Each structure stands twice: as C-alpha cells, then as structure tokens.
Amino acid sequence: MQIPFYKYQGTGNDFVLIDNRQQNFPKNDTILIAQFCDRKFGVGADGLIVLEQHPTLDFSMVYYNADGNQSSMCGNGGRCVVHFAAFLGIIETQTAFMAIDGVHHASIQDDKVALHMTDVSHIENHKQYSFLNTGSPHHVEMVANLEDLNVVDKGRAIRNNSYGTAGANINFVSKISGDTFSVRTYERGVEDETLSCGTGVTAVALVMFDTKQTDSSKIYLKTPGGELCVCFDKKEQTYTNIILTGPAIQVYRGTCEL
C-alpha cells in the first residue's frame, strides 16, 4: 500500500502530515511512526500528525511525537494541520477542529495561521522557574547567555530529574525588549532541542506577563526557527482568548510504501 505524506514546518518545527480520512494509515503502529520521523532512515520530523474526519467539526488532529507515541497538544503542529486542511480543500479561511485538549478555532491567510489555544487558569511561579500547561506541560526558566547555553544537556537533566517519566518541555528564555523574548526549547518525546515549540512560546508569553517581565498582552517570541506572536486577555486569574500566530509552510510531498 502506498501512503501519501506531506512535510510541513512551522518556524522550523517540522512534521509529517497524513490525510487519514479514509482510515488507511495504521496510526497505532508506533514503530512505523518513529521510522517516518527518523532523520537518518525516514522522512525526518519532530512529530507526525494524522488528520481525520470528525462528526461535527471540520476535522480531528491526532499528534505523535518523534518516538512514535501519541502525545499532548502541539501548537506549531496545530497551525500546520490547519494549513494542510486548507490545502486539501476541507476549509477555507476559518476552522474549528478537535485535538487531544479539546476544540480549537483557527484562521488562515496565505501561509500565516492564527490558532486559538486553550485557556490557562493555573501558573506555578517558583523562585527560579515557572510551570504551567498550555496543552502540553512546560517548565519556563529565564537564563543569561541564552545563545551559549547547552540546551540539550540542561534541558534533558531538568526534564528527567524534575518531571519523572511523563516529563515536561523545558523552555529557556531571555528578554530582548519590553514585548520581545528569545526562547530555546528542549522537547520531551523528541528528546532534543527543537527549532521552535508553539505550546512552549505560548507558555513563555503567559509567564513573562504573569511575572511582570512585560506589561504587554501581545508578545513576540524569537526562536531559532523564526518569530511567533502570542496575544491574550486576562480575566481575574485566567488567561483567555490566547492566540498563537505564525507561518506554516508545506515543504514537500511524497509517498511511502507499506
């Protein structure tokens, strides 16, 4: 069987996307998905996304980490699957779709996608770091000399020693200006630094506002793979109307023979 696939990237966070509306793709085959994502022996990606039919919404998104296991919400992946749905003709400029953390709304114009993230009502602020869940669990820590930081070694140590088997994504941050921050992320499941993380920059934006590093509710995040924007409202202790905006690009397409 030949399975068509599409390669996408959102600020360097790259994904294999599969149109599984006909249920032809063996999405429970962990080894196959890991092989797809392998950069030496497969297509190569930070994760794989399956687009499926939904009974009431435009589509469903099922996300797998590079290790082949189904995972929590991926913000950049969510933006890429919206672009993919538009490419397939499922949507035009607006959509509502189901992900593992609930319904997401999004809009697309050309190659820029604005994705509504889930509300956040709880942020744990500690002396050296903050922890919160923006669809995936995130540790946010401000550091000096971010460009020279060994993100893999330090991120892996925090991920394994502080968060156990389930793990968390580890974000290191430095301030550039009043509303702009630089971010580097170590991602669980990939077990490496990625060029960008959508739920990660969302977490960073909320923490920077919550800890009074900025008074802006529209924050720009510079990652190694490009720039993203996060805007939000705050009502009492809850962050609402959180929107992650940035580019989503189809890189190439091909087929894999199973």
pLDDT, tens digit, 9 for 90 and up, residues 107-120: 999 999 999 999 99
Confirm whether 256 is a catalytic residue. no
pLDDT value of position 257:
79
Mean pLDDT of the 236-256 span: 96
- Going from N- to C-terminal start, the domains of the chain cover 2-116+247-257, 123-244
- 87 class by beta-carbon count within 10 Å (0-12 exposed, 13-18 middle, 19+ buried): middle
Tell me the DSSP string of 153-188. HHHHHHHHHHHTTT--EEEEEEEEETTEEEEEEEET
pLDDT, tens digit, 9 for 90 and up, residues 28-37: 999 999 999 9
Confirm whether 197 is a catalytic residue. yes
**In the CATH hierarchy, which top-level class contains the domain 123-244?**
alpha beta
The rounded mean pLDDT for the chain is: 96
pLDDT, tens digit, 9 for 90 and up, residues 92-141: 999 999 999 999 999 999 999 999 999 999 999 999 999 999 999 999 99
pLDDT value of position 204:
98
The catalytic position among 37, 74, 80, 229 is 74
Instruction: Please determine, for residue 9, whether its predicted confidence score (pLDDT) is greater than 80.
Output: yes
pLDDT, tens digit, 9 for 90 and up, residues 52-73: 999 999 999 999 999 999 999 9
**In the CATH hierarchy, which top-level class contains the domain 2-116+247-257?**
alpha beta
Same fold for the pair 2-116+247-257 and 123-244? yes
Confidence of residue 86 (pLDDT cuts 50, 70, 90): very high
